[in-house]
Amino acid sequence: MTKRIRRTAAIAVAGLLATVTACSGSSSSPPGFAGRHLAAGRGAHGADSGGGVFTLLAAGGILPHSPLIDRAADDTDGQGYDFRPMLKGAARAVSGADLAICHMETVYGQQGGPYTGAPSFKSPPELATALRAIGFDSCSTASDHSLDDGSQGIGRTLDALDEAGVAHAGSARSAVEASRPTLLVAGKGKGAAKVAHLAYTQGTAGIPMPAGRPWAVGLIDKAQIVADARKAREAGADVVVVSLHWGTEWQDAPDDVQHTLGRELTASGTGGRPDIDLILGTGAHVPQAYEKVNGTWIVYGAGNQIAGPTADREGVQDPRAGESSMGRFTFAPPVEPGRRWAVTKAEFVPQWFDPEAGRIVGLAPTASAGAGARGARLRGIHDRIGRVVLSRGAAQDGLVEGR
């Protein structure tokens, strides 16, 4: 595979749409913890959630190849790097959710560079500020590129995310940090939900763990994931969300490992309550199906939220590299104490990263795509993503397209 608290949704979106040069504040939250405390828990469509109900949105991989780094520099006229214009197309959906999770697939280089794209990534740390600006609360950081610049790369990445106010899960600067679940808060007061975010990768592209730091990156291991989920529950988590960097690159269908691990993880429970409430997959670089397994939703693959032109295993540039979906799930509190929080609505939001413009494009329903060649192209991308996402019968379990 190629290698923490924000302002209210209304402020975040209005500020970003009004100007892509507005600065975002830093957070004083301790590493590994973040919460979003809105005065009126605003949901994905701008309505008050209330009653403990919250929406969680998860997006695909952030994979800034060299052309994207150059574009971010161009968007500041060479005076640094600004990824906010690039991400702006996702801002309304991301900031509209009560909690939003990204997948930060690469590590950050030193301030001022040098920065590199594939095959060994070192991204500008200004990317963390952009993620915060459009509304992400937490990012998974476990991927096959987590060790592209050793432990120092992990340290710079997590330091930058902390400074920007974005939580993180999947890599760590210390054994203590690695052992502590990332806890986020959706809502406020007695109705608030504590959400644990855990993250793991199936490999690190053959790069060994740094000497004396076997905990630097979370690796996929069923027993460890279940143990961590139970530990998060003991720490007070109402909802446990697991991000997994897995799957076979450029394959629309989830592979056997994804199927088997997905079934096993969703079947694990304690005291009649599932240990894991949602699985969010990335890693294949193309959209994959959503499926409800053992009563728990799995997003096998969200695709790339942003990525440069990318070649498949045969060296052919694959246009699907810019296709993705964002999963949005509405959770409601249990009827009885100690039971699971239920997903009352499941949605997918298709989007496309236009490599020529260097911008995220939201894909409205096909009738709104417009006329001409571009409209036809957008309709084709929209429809293909929908077919893949729904290919394992998710529509029968209630998955619908969101805006």
* Mean pLDDT over each residue of the chain, to the nearest integer: 87
Q: What does the pLDDT look like over 211-229, one tens digit per residue? A: 999 999 999 999 999 999 9
Domain residue spans of the chain: 9-401
pLDDT category, 318, cuts 50, 70, 90? confident
pLDDT category, 49, cuts 50, 70, 90? very low
Separation CA 143–CA 203 (nearest Å): 7
pTM given for the model: 0.88
Question: Looking at residues 163-170, what average pLDDT do you find?
Answer: 98
High-pLDDT (> 90) share of the chain, %: 77
Q: What does the pLDDT look like over 62-77, one tens digit per residue? A: 999 999 999 999 999 8
Question: Looking at residues 171-200, what average pLDDT do you find?
Answer: 93
Q: What does the pLDDT look like over 1-29, one tens digit per residue? A: 433 233 233 323 333 333 333 333 333 33
Separation CA 345–CA 343 (nearest Å): 6
Which stretch of DSSP H or E encloses residue 274?
Answer: strand 273-274
Q: Is the pLDDT of residue 367 over 60?
A: no
Separation CA 137–CA 126 (nearest Å): 16
Question: Looking at residues 326-345, what average pLDDT do you find?
Answer: 94
Q: Is the pLDDT of residue 44 over 90?
A: no
Is the pLDDT higher at 33 or at 255? Answer: 255
Question: Looking at residues 236-244, what average pLDDT do you find?
Answer: 97
Could you give phi then psi for residue 299, rounded to 5 degrees?
-100, 105
Please report the pLDDT score of residue 279 as a whole number.
99
Strands, DSSP E only, in 264-387? 269-270, 273-274, 278-282, 290-293, 296-299, 304-307, 323-332, 342-354, 359-362
Question: Looking at residues 281-288, what average pLDDT do you find?
Answer: 97
Superfamily for domain range 9-401 = Metallo-dependent phosphatases (3.60.21.10)
High-pLDDT (> 70) share of the chain, %: 85
Neighbouring C-alpha atoms within 13 Å toward the C-beta of 61 = 36
Q: Read off the amino acid at residue 228.
A: D
Q: What does the pLDDT look like over 87-96, one tens digit per residue? A: 999 999 999 9
SS3 state of residue 355 = coil
Separation CA 54–CA 184 (nearest Å): 12
Q: Is the pLDDT of residue 47 over 90?
A: no
Separation CA 294–CA 264 (nearest Å): 9
Separation CA 273–CA 313 (nearest Å): 41
DSSP conformational letter for 302: B
Separation CA 239–CA 230 (nearest Å): 11
Q: What does the pLDDT look like over 98-125, one tens digit per residue? A: 999 999 999 999 999 999 999 999 999 9
Please report the pLDDT score of residue 366 as a whole number.
58
pLDDT category, 191, cuts 50, 70, 90? confident
Separation CA 332–CA 54 (nearest Å): 7
Q: What does the pLDDT look like over 259-272, one tens digit per residue? A: 999 999 999 999 99
Separation CA 77–CA 62 (nearest Å): 22
Q: If we measure between CA atoms, which residue out of 289, 245, 202 comes closest to residue 103? A: 245
Residue for token digits 């053992």?
A: 294
Please report the pLDDT score of residue 6 as a whole number.
34
Please report the pLDDT score of residue 364 as a whole number.
73
Please report the pLDDT score of residue 189 as a whole number.
73
pLDDT category, 51, cuts 50, 70, 90? low
Q: Is there a contact between 345 and 297 (Cβ–Cβ < 8 Å)? A: no
Neighbouring C-alpha atoms within 13 Å toward the C-beta of 269 = 14
pLDDT category, 369, cuts 50, 70, 90? low
pLDDT category, 338, cuts 50, 70, 90? confident
Please report the pLDDT score of residue 374 as a whole number.
85
Q: Is there a contact between 244 and 200 (Cβ–Cβ < 8 Å)? A: yes
